[in-house]
Structures are given as C-alpha cells and as structure tokens.
Amino acid sequence: MIPYLIRVAVKSVVTLFAIATITFIATRLSGNPIDTFLGDGLTEEGRAELIRYFQLDGSLWQQYLAFMRGAVSGEFGLSFVDRRPVTEVVSDRLWASGQLLLASVAFTLLVAIPLGILGAIYRKSWIGSAVMMVAFAGYAVPSFILAIVMVLVFSYWLNWLPVVGNGSFAHFIMPTIAMSGVLIAALTRFTRNAMLDVLGQDFIRTARAKGLGEARVVLRHGLGNAGVTVISVIGLQVAGLAAAGSVVVESIFSWPGIGQLLVNAALVRDYPVLQFGVITVAVAVVAINALTDVSYALADPRIRLARS
C-alpha cells in the first residue's frame, strides 16, 4: 500500500507542476496587463515604472523561474488591480465557493442516491422509468442553461428567489440546483447500475432467504457493497464540479467566490490572481482525486492488493 500512496503523491505533484506551467504560459499569451487595466492615459515613464514594479520587465524564462520560485515558497505576488497579495484576494473568496460546493454535494447525495436505489428496485415499473428520465434530463441540460431558466422563472417572472449575492438561504437555492444538475444525473445512473449489479448477486438472495427485511437487504447489503463504485463516481464528479461548474454558476449568479474572481481576473489580465486562483482550484481537484483513489483502494481489498 505504501508504494501505491507514493505513486499517488508523485502523480499529484507532477500534475500540479504541469498545470502551473500551462497556466503561466496561457496568461502570458494574452498580452500586457498594464495596457489593459490602465488604458491609453499612461505615460511611457509611468508604464515602464509599473512594468518594473510588477516584475514584468524580465524575459519570459526569467518570469517563469520567478513564478515557480514564488509558488514553491508560497509567494505569488500582488494583484495588479487590488494591489494586495493574491493569497489574500483569493482567500477572501474561498469560503463562499466552499459553501456553494458543500451545499451542492449535500443536495446531490440527498437526491441522487435515493433515486438510484429506487431506479434499481423498481426498474421494471414507471418509477424506474421516471428515475432514468430525470438522469437523462440532467445530462442533457447544461448547468448554465438550467441557471438561466431558473433565473427567468423564479426570479424574473415569479419574483420568488434572489439572483445576486449569498446573504441568505434563499440565495443558495438556485446556484445549488444549477451546480448539482449534472452531478445528480451521473450519480443517479451509477448508483442504479451498481445496485442492479449487486442485487443480482447470490449473497443478496441468501440474505432474503434468511428472512431479512427488504430495507436491510437493500441498504446494508446492497448499498454497502455498491458503495465502492459510488465513492469513485462522487470523487470524480465533485472534482469536475469544483473545476468547471463553479466558474459558470458563480458568474451567472454573481456569487462572490473563486469562479467569479477567475473570470474577472481573466478579463483584466490580472496574471497573479488568475495564476494563483487556477492553482488553488487545481490543488482542490487533485486532492479530491487522490483521496478518491486512496478511498477506492482501501474500500476494495482486491484493488489494495493489486496496487500494493
């Protein structure tokens, strides 16, 4: 098991290094940020002074080495716009994004796992068909389309829910549903398929023959053994949600999180904020994937033996 953990750690570090390098190159391809957020009213002397101040006067290779040294030491520079350390700028938005992500994951688990179980138990009835229709609808409708439709219906037409901000429980409803749509669809389908595979096994028939209640058979023996597959799906989908879903949904609902911050930083070419924001999201995604792999290996002895 120790060699497997070492491989996971090495893979995670290499992935983060590659993401940091790609992010640095991509930001530099967009042009000079000084011209973007200060416009044409800047003198040549002032422009040169700002370029030196933000350490943009070196070659691309020198800037890259300075960026990597800063990344290793935890110094990512100052925001071009706020003139504050980017660690402070990003950390101010972390809790808002974390709240939305946790709310979306909790809502997904509360909805998707029961739907998947029902879809497996009643697979030959209208209930099973309805569950699959919900899953396919979740796949078919992108999160931004769902968000826009909810804004039109529940905010613009009915005036029931607020659109902007995160000050109350009502502010969480539409962003949480929008972020959870695809995740609910994926987890429902995988839970249903995993439960169908487990419920057809001999030990399930043995448990029923012993007179155990159906609820105990389904939840303890069925879901307990299908949990390995469900865990892997949850980890992968949550990682994708943290990487892409937050950017789209936070932008639509003006949610004061990292997703909206990244969009704004990209528009004004705020290199340090954009770089550190992307790396922060990448660390979260890589950590979730690594924990998912380790949990998957620990949950299944066959996988643990194969990877040790």
Q: What is the pLDDT of residues 221-278, one digit of tens each?
A: 777 777 767 777 777 777 776 666 678 888 888 888 888 888 888 887 888 888 888 8
pLDDT at residue 281 greater than cutoff 50: yes
Q: What is the pLDDT of residues 56-93, one digit of tens each?
A: 777 788 888 888 888 888 788 788 878 888 888 888 88
In angstroms, rounded to a whole number, what is the distance separating the alpha carbons of residues 193 and 278?
34
What's the pLDDT band for 210 if we cut at 50, 70, 90? confident
Residue with tokens 């300075």: 66
Record the tokens describing residue 89, joined without a space. Answer: 């700028």
In angstroms, rounded to a whole number, what is the distance separating the alpha carbons of residues 147 and 175?
7
Distances (CA, A) of 113 to 192, 200, 212, 246, 265: 8, 18, 22, 22, 37
pLDDT of residue 174: 92
Q: Please give the full DSSP string across 180-214, using - where no structure is assigned.
A: HHHHHHHHHHHHHHHHHHHHTSHHHHHHHHTT--H
pLDDT of residue 298: 67
Q: CATH 1.10.3720.10 spans which residues of the chain? A: 87-306
- Contact indicator for 9, 289 with CB cutoff of 8 Å: no
First to last CA, the chain: 4
Mean of pLDDT values over 278-298:
79
Handedness of CA 69, 284, 95, 244 (dihedral sign): positive
Q: What's the full length of the chain, in residues? A: 308
Q: Which of 61, 104, 76 is nearest to 271 (CA)?
A: 76
pLDDT at residue 39 greater than cutoff 70: no
* Degrees, nearest 5: CA angle 17-85-73: 40
pLDDT of residue 305: 47
Helices (H), 76-201: 86-121, 126-140, 143-150, 169-199
- Contact indicator for 188, 131 with CB cutoff of 8 Å: yes
**What amino acid is encoded at 195 in this protein?**
M
Give a three-class secondary structure readout of 229-241.
Answer: HHHHHHHHHHHHH
Per DSSP, 217 falls in state I
Q: What are residue 205's phi and psi, to 5 degrees?
A: -65, -35
CATH superfamily of this structure's domain 87-306: MetI-like (1.10.3720.10)
**What amino acid is encoded at 154 in this protein?**
F
- Cβ contacts of 160-168, under 8 Å, gap ≥ 24: 163/253, 163/254, 164/253, 164/254, 165/254, 165/255, 165/256, 166/96, 166/99, 166/100, 166/255, 166/256
pLDDT of residue 183: 85
